[in-house]
Structure 1
Amino acid sequence: MTASKQHGVALIIVLMLFAILSTITLEIVFRQDRFLTRADNLLQWDKRYQYAMAAEVVAQQGLIDDLDDDRNNNAMVDDCVEEQWAVQLPPTPYDDAMLSASVQDLQGRFNLNWLITTSGGQFIRNPEAITQLTRLIEQTFPPEANPSRLANEMADWLDSNNIVDSVEGAEDPEYRNRRTPNMPVSHESELRALLSFRVNSQPAESLVWGLFTALPQGTTLNVNTAPPQVLDAVIGSVAGTGAVKAVIEERKKAPITAISNLMQEPAFNGLNANQKNDLASLLGVSSEYFQVMVNVEVDGQLSRLVSRLHRANGQGKTTSVFSRQVSPLLTPLEPACNPFYNADGT
């Protein structure tokens, strides 16, 4: 091989080595930049989360202060208008963040776990609650939804047996990729897992989901914070729409302080003693379960933390968090009073 050819081969080898080294260098720089970006994103996310947690602690203290105030005034009542917790924090600067928050009463919503009762360690379908849920879905879901089918499927989703108790129900054999839990649900979003639920069957207004919740079975409905649709589902199915209107008119004057007094209203005279007692056992005037929503913005990046709290109304000052969820900001913060609170229910 001549000297010129040897020089040509050497030049090609040098160029190849240079290209390889350049490629490796670029890959190292790219990976390092990606690692730094990921680390910065995680740090920023953690900062927003910690700010949200701080706001959650403030909300917990507000609920405790409200409970102390109720005890001092001997009025264990919660409404969404005058209570200390019933406030909404507008966008407020805090260090390098912008925070906004609100608190909602979960006991002003329809509890899906009412669809079952406990007997002998088994969860049994509650026909009255199924009727109530059917009535609520009829008012809130679009016409193409099948309210009775969805309510019965929800009951089968919860009850202990694997028998389809209604022609409109559904149990394990009807589901292909999931199984019914056969126990109380932990979140209202489990409605979406039902066999007949379709995307085009969901409420057109996303805020309608604020009418549903998942709480322990014996939890009562707070008549001071429940919107008309939920009152109609629970009270209207037993006592009629006149009783619902009576509740709404009564709480407009002042928060209702006793269910026993409410049952004496003329609108409930059509019920016998047993019906009144059964209905009264479902209702209350105070709450233990609340939701705190916090939006945090730092350097143009947004996060929302949704926390659910249990405030024991006993002698202690215990307020505990039983769930936290980092949620996308698809809708505005919910106000203390449900958006449908002042609606006429039509």
Structure 2
Amino acid sequence: MSGHQRGIALISVLLVMSLVLLITSGLLRSHRLSLQSSGQSLQQVHLRQLAMAGETWALLQLQDAASAGQKTVDLTQDWARMTADFDIEDAQLSVDIEDLAGRFNLNALLTQGQIDQVTLNRWARLLDLLDLPPLPLSQVGALQELSQLRLLPGVDGQLLRQLEPWVAVLPTEATLNINTAPAMVLRTLDGVDAGVADALVGQRSEAAWASVQAFTQDPLLAGAGLSSHGLGIGSRWFRITVQVSQGQSRLRLATDVERDPDTHRFNILQRRLLPSSTHEMPR
């Protein structure tokens, strides 16, 4: 074989080896990415399992409260006062239970197909407090979820995020629970300004109102002419929010539940994964 032929053969061998190295490198990189993806998927599954464990714990607390047969749902009860921070398998769990009847029920605006004027006035005050434009909910009708408000002109994601912590989509008959509503929502009531609302929240942290009449006759509301329409002292609807942290990974699960009025058992209405930056309603 001449020197020229040997040179060509050597170059051919080098090209084949380079091609093999490129293919091998690509396969290794693909395998490594596949392992990383599998590892991340397994971790997400693990975080979800932990979140479900937190949800189960919260349901047990609510079930215990329901079994106690208390006439009110309020923030002096164990379900609201319990510290719910756990360390499990190198992960941190934080569990929060919120009474959704403490929010403004958007469906309460429509009663038997008619606009409820008292509730409509409260809705207008809430929008004013949040510095939001008027939103004619009668144009949408009964709501199944908050995102339906996008049907209204000018409603975008930013507006919904600003509104979301203060409203709920519950059955028409659900009343506003005065024992759990935050100061912002109490300010939608006739004659309740910021100072009165804060005082009411501070007062009920020691003792809940046993009836709506006791609330409307509270000395803090003397002369306000507050209507008892649409107000209540109990609830069947709750949101369980579980946040799981493990290393740099985060998972946030929100579960809405309803207590059956006949069996008193809790049914899951929906589960959602939330962004870690989502803010729940303050108490």
Alignment correspondent of 1:248 = 200
The residue aligned with 1:186 is: 145
Q: Which residue of 1 aligns with 2:154?
A: 196
Kept after mapping to 2: 8 A contact 1:87/1:102: no
The equivalent of 1:176 in structure 2 is none
The one-character-per-residue Cα deviations of 1:281-338 (angstroms, maximum 9, x if unpaired) are: x1110111111111112233211111111123x3523111111111121157x5xxx5
Give the unaligned 5+ runs of structure 1.
160-182, 342-346
More displaced stretch, 298-307 vs 102-111: 298-307
Distance of 2:242 and 2:108 partners within structure 1: 29
Asked if the contact 1:185–1:214 (Cα under 8 Å) also holds between the matched residues in 2, the reply is yes
Distance across 2 between alignment mates of 1:306 and 1:199: 19
Shift of 1:38: 0.8
- Structure-1 residue corresponding to 2:174: 219
Match of 1:287 in 2: 235
Preserved contact between residue 88 and residue 101 of structure 1 (Cα < 8 Å): no
Query: In 2, are the aligned partners of 1:87 and 1:103 still within 8 Å (CA)?
Result: no
2:270 corresponds to: 323
In the alignment, is the contact (CA less than 8 A) between 2:72 and 2:210 conserved in 1?
A: yes
User: Hey, what does 1:78 align to over in structure 2?
Assistant: 73
Aligned equivalents of 2:104, 2:43: Cα separation in 1: 37
- The alpha-carbon deviation at position 131 of structure 1 amounts to 3.2
Aligned pair 1:296/2:279, yes or no?
no
Distance in 1, matches of 2:138 and 2:31, equals: 53
What is the CA–CA distance in structure 2 between the aligned matches of 1:3 and 1:291, rounded to whole Å? Answer: 84
Tell me whether 1:32 sits opposite 2:31 in the alignment: yes
CA spacing shift, 1:251–1:298, aligned 2, 3 Å: closer
- Whether contact under 8 Å (1:186, 1:215) holds in the other structure is no
The AA in structure 2 aligned to 1:210 is P
- The answer to whether the 8 A contact 1:106-1:291 is kept is yes
CA contact (8 A) 1:112 1:185 kept: no
Matching residue of 1:110? 104
- Per-residue deviation, 1:90: 5.1
C-alpha deviation, 1:56, in angstroms: 0.4
Query: For the residues of structure 2 that align with 1:258 and 1:44, how far apart are their CA atoms?
Result: 48
The aligned counterpart of 1:132 is 122
Q: In the alignment, is the contact (CA less than 8 A) between 2:257 and 2:268 conserved in 1?
A: yes
Percent identity over the alignment is 27
Paired with 1:255 and 1:138, the residues of 2 have a C-alpha distance of 28
Measured in 1, the distance between the counterparts of 2:268 and 2:159 equals 32
CA distance in 2, matches of 1:92, 1:289: 25
Cα distance change, pair 94–253 in 1 and its aligned pair in 2 (3 A):
closer
Runs (5+) with no aligned partner, structure 2? none
Deviation at 1:270, TM superposition (A): 7.8
Counterpart-to-counterpart distance in 2, 1:308 and 1:291: 4
Question: When the two structures are aligned, how many residues end up with a matched partner?
Answer: 279
116 and 20 in structure 1: CA distance in 2 versus 1, 3 angstrom threshold: farther
- Deviation readout 1:76-131 (Å, 9 max, x if unpaired): 10112x11110354542113321111111111001122233444xxxx55454443
Aligned-CA RMSD value: 3.0
